[in-house]
Structure formats: structure tokens, C-alpha cells
Amino acid sequence: MRKWRMKMNFKAVNVSPMEKVFSTAAPSEEGAREKLSGLKGEIVSFQIAYYAESQGFARAEAEVISPIREQVQLRKVALVPCEYPCGPVVDEDYITTAPGLYPDRLEKLEKVSDEEKDIYKEIPLIHAQWRSLWVDVELSEDMEAGTYPLTIRLTYKGEVLTEKTVEVEVIGAVLPAMKVPHTEWFHSDCLADYYGVEVFSEEYWRIVENFVRTAGRHRYNMLLTPIFTPPLDTAVGGERRTVQLVDVRVQADGSYAFGFEKLERWVEMAKRCGIRFFEMSHLFTQWGATAAPKIMAEKDGICQQIFGWDTDAAGEAYRAFLHAFLEALKPELKKLGIENETYFHVSDEPSMEQIDSYRAAKEAVAEDLKGYGMFDALSDYGFYEQGLVQQPVCGLNHIAPFLKAREEGKGLEKLWGYYCVGQPEKVTNRFIVQPGYRTRVLGAQMYKYELAGFLQWGYNFYNSAFSLHPIDPYRCTDADGAFPSGDPFIVYPGPGGMPEESQRLMLMDEAMSDLCAMNLLEDLCGRETVLACLEPDGKEILTIEEYPRNREYLTAVRERVNRKIAENL
């Protein structure tokens, strides 16, 4: 057997969770801290970036040394393929625009524990490459306030390669829950396709709950609920796998009967996972509301499609169905105790060219949904100006006229924001090749501009564009070359029906935790105190499109917020 001869040149540095450690470039260490702080109920993170020059196969171990080691988790930041990292429109705030393998997926490491120590094994030492370990400290709500040391010791064959120590300060207040909804669309059909399970089988429910639980743990508090199979990113004339929660039966006289047992199970499951708000899937097709979503029903003893692409959205048949359905659904929502937390969609992303069809669709359900929250993702102010949408969910690169109208007293107290592939310049987003601070800044912006919610379209979209076919998320992060890598999903479908998290998911967690901490500080000291933490010199440096393009700014903002909270408890 050949023996590897090992000569190790090793270096390591602590880096910010906002830093993306590329294999070919030394990290800058900007924004890193030797002392971290957080509130009870929060996850505080940092990274250890390391570089090894070796000749041969090498795996290290990491030992966690801390009085709070049971609340510490280490994961490997794995590289993922980015064949389509960005579209043709970009700005200067991208780490790269070239395709390649870049850090994103957080992969669990083998862990061995006893009463004295936790050791993580099989940490790869790849010759002449930078890699990183992701370190989470989960500050439980019952922890005692105080400062705790945390040391991570990396060893190779018993030899210490490095020791990295930080202090973790636990502030004596619990991070409050989100005050506003945060949703990133949940695609349960993609889970059924990837794992090869039957929809509504017990295995399906188990996997769905695993993914919803992860969302709830990371401050997602609204869940897209497929009362009918969501008509999202579907080619005209095409269809996605049926995940319809509501049972429909066409009776002999042509009337409809509805069963809500699956919806009840969905809501109960979501509540267990920390979900508070429910957004019903769209009642009309995407990009114009011209047709009905796929709706399956039992008719003449056979399960068959009764509405779909060939349905006139404004026709009497579909209007009559919607009226019967919504009249049956509303008492069910009240029975479930979620009538005040339920939102409805008409159609996703209509343009001004489609305003007439959107108006007809809205009018078809307006009376039945009076008193319920209705919202849609759109970017044209004309929809609000003409009274067609109560709560516009505006693309952040088109939000300026909405903000101006709000300042002029034209309503818009419940203005939401969203981003997707169509927001590649200036504004926050979550593409893999964008800097981490560009994702995390969202929380500060939501606070300053008092946004009433945030929406993104892909928590776990594992299809090609238009859902022509499924993709393997471990090989394709761009919906088969359609959307910049990272846009379609933020969790990976891991083994055993468990999601694998991503660095971007953790950055969204930090963004929403920032927002919650700012809300707490406002409750303690008032809004002006929080705004002073965001812009300490009194100069406007944080807008939707302009903000400090570095990790240090958000690190310092959160430190100021935490310090003010601690001083005023």
C-alpha cells in the first residue's frame, strides 16, 4: 500500500458570517470580532477560515472547548456549482461574475461526544485551498446572561494546527418574535419529486414538516398553503404535480362540496413549526390572471381536472366555483383560528399590460374576501393607484414611488417588499456570488422603511424554469440556467428527508434577527434611538439602493443595538 508523506503548512483566521470564503482567495477578516453578542433565543455565528498546503489526503478534527459547548454546532461550508452565477445586468457589488464552485451549503460533520468534550471529525484539508467551518452558538431562552469563552481547537493526527477563541456575551433579554410576515415560497411538490414519495403519504408529511420546521426556526413565519396546486412558474399549458389540500366534489346538481381535512393537518403542522401566518395559493394564473389554477375534483365517481389553463378566469363557471369555495373556506379558517392571519393572492407579478385581466379577477373575489388581507407581488404603482391591491408586495428596485406616495399620505401603511431574479442591481438580494452583507442588510432596511412584510419566491424550488422538469439541486443551483444561482432555493434536500441549510439561509436569519432586535430596542427606548444606531452621524447612509458596501457596517450596527438594549433592561 502506498503511504502518503505529509508536510503541512497551515493557517487559520476567524471571519465574519457575512464573508464568503472562496477556495482561491484569502479572506479579508473585515467585520470579524473576538467578542460576539446576542440575545436569548438567537443564533450567533462566525466562521473559521483555514488554508492547508499538504501532499496527500488529510482530514482534521475540531474540538469544542466551552462551558456552553452543548449549544455549539460546527458545520463544513461546502462548495456548490454556479454555472449561471448572474444575468446580463449586474453592478460592481458582486464577488465574481464567472461560473465556478462557490461556498454555500452547510454540511453536517460527524460528531463524537462524551461528558467532557465534543469532537467533529472528517474536516477536509484540501491542498492549497481556503475552506471554512461554520460555527453556530444557539443562545437558548433559559441561558443566564453573561460572557462565555469558546475555543475551537483544530488537530491533525494529534498535532494542534490552531486554536481560535472568541467570547460570547449573552444579553439578558429574549429576542422577540417577528412582528411582520416573512415568507419564501414553499414548494411541496418539489419535495415529493426529489424524494420519490407519494403526495399526502405519511412520508410526504414527515418530509414537509422537516422543511417547514427549519423555516420556522430561522424566522420564517408565513407559509404558502396550497389550497390548490400553486400556479407558479408553470409553462402555459403545462402543470406541476398535484398538491391540492382541499378536496372538491361535484355533486349531481352541479353544486360543490368541500373537504378540509388535509388543510387542517397542514395548519396544525405549520403551527407546531412556529408558523403564524398563512398565505393561500394564488386563485388565478401567474402573469396576468387569465386562467384558473389546476383544480382537481371528484366528478361522477372519478378524480378529474375541472378547471385549468382552458378556463376563462372571468367566466361565470369559475366565478361560481370560487364563490362556493370561499364561502365554505371562511368558516373553516375561523374554526382553525387563523382567519386574522390568513392572506390571499389573486395573481403573481402582473404588468400594466395585464391590468384589465387582473381587475376582472380581483372583482371576482373582492366581495367574498372582504375583510381579509389581499396582497400580490407587483412593481407598477398603477395597480395600487387604481385600488386593485390593498397590500402591494413591491420589487425593491421599484419601491421608490410607493415610498413617496406613503410620505405624501396616500396610504400604503402595509407596504411589503420582495426580490427575485429581477432585482440584480443596487438592492439587497441573495445570489450566491453576492457579498453576504448584501443579503443581511435587508433587516435594517425593513426597519428603517417600516415594511409590513417580505416575500421571496423560492425556499425550495427544485425545478427548471417553467417547471418543465425537476433538477438536482446538488448539481444545479440556477433552475437549469434560467435564474442566477441561489435565486430558486435557500435550502438543499438532504439525506433522510432533512433539509441542509445554506450560508444564505443563515444570513437571512441574521437579517430578521437584526430586525427583531431593533423592534425590541424601539420598545425600550423609542424609534429615534434605533435610527441613531443605523446612522450614528446623522447622515443618511442607509437607503433601499445605497448602503455601506462592507461587513463592518452591519456588524457595528448590531453591536450598537445590543449595547443599547443591555443598558436599558
Query: Would you state the pLDDT for residue 3?
Result: 42
**Is there a domain that residue 37 lies in?**
yes
**Is there a domain that residue 147 lies in?**
yes
Query: Would you state the pLDDT for residue 8?
Result: 73
Q: From CA 140, how far away is CA 40, in angstroms rounded?
A: 5
Query: How confident is the prediction along the chain (569 residues), in pLDDT tens digits per residue?
Result: 344 445 678 999 999 999 999 999 999 999 999 999 999 999 999 999 999 998 788 999 999 999 999 999 999 999 999 999 999 999 999 999 999 999 999 999 999 998 888 999 999 999 999 999 999 999 999 999 999 999 999 999 999 999 999 999 999 999 999 999 999 999 999 999 999 999 999 999 999 999 999 999 999 999 999 999 999 999 999 999 999 999 999 999 999 999 999 999 999 999 999 999 999 999 999 988 999 999 999 999 999 999 999 999 989 999 999 999 999 999 999 999 999 999 999 999 999 999 999 999 999 999 999 999 999 998 899 999 999 998 999 999 999 999 999 999 998 989 999 999 999 999 999 999 999 999 999 999 999 999 999 999 999 999 999 999 999 999 999 999 999 999 999 999 999 999 999 999 999 999 999 999 999 999 999 999 999 999 999 999 999 999 999 999 999 999 999 999 999 99
pTM of the predicted model as reported, rounded to 2 decimal places: 0.97
Specify the number of domains making up the chain: 1
**Is there a domain that residue 116 lies in?**
yes
- β-pair partners for 163: 153
* Phi, psi dihedrals of residue 479, rounded to the nearest 5°: 55, 45
**Is there a domain that residue 269 lies in?**
no
**Is there a domain that residue 183 lies in?**
no
Closest C-alpha to 439, from 398, 395, 487, 399: 487
Query: Would you state the pLDDT for residue 7?
Result: 60
Q: From CA 541, how far away is CA 524, in angstroms rounded?
A: 24
Contacts (Cβ under 8 Å, ≥6 apart) of 334: none
Beta carbons within 10 angstroms of residue 409's beta carbon = 7
What does the chain come to in residues?
569
CA distances from 383 to 217, 233, 349, 393 (A): 35, 22, 11, 11
- Quote helix, strand, coil % in the chain, to nearest 5: 30, 30, 45
Contact by Cβ (8 Å): 297, 246:
no
**Is there a domain that residue 502 lies in?**
no
Q: From CA 64, how far away is CA 66, in angstroms rounded?
A: 6
Domain of residue 144, residue span: 9-173
Q: From CA 90, how far away is CA 70, in angstroms rounded?
A: 43
- β-pair partners for 493: 499
Q: From CA 105, how far away is CA 99, in angstroms rounded?
A: 17
**Is there a domain that residue 41 lies in?**
yes
What count of Cα atoms within 13 Å lies in the side-chain half-sphere of residue 295?
28
Q: From CA 259, how far away is CA 329, in angstroms rounded?
A: 10
Contacts (Cβ under 8 Å, ≥6 apart) of 103: 20, 21, 22, 23, 77, 78, 79, 80, 132, 503
**Is there a domain that residue 417 lies in?**
no
Query: Would you state the pLDDT for residue 6?
Result: 53
CATH code at 51? 2.60.40.10
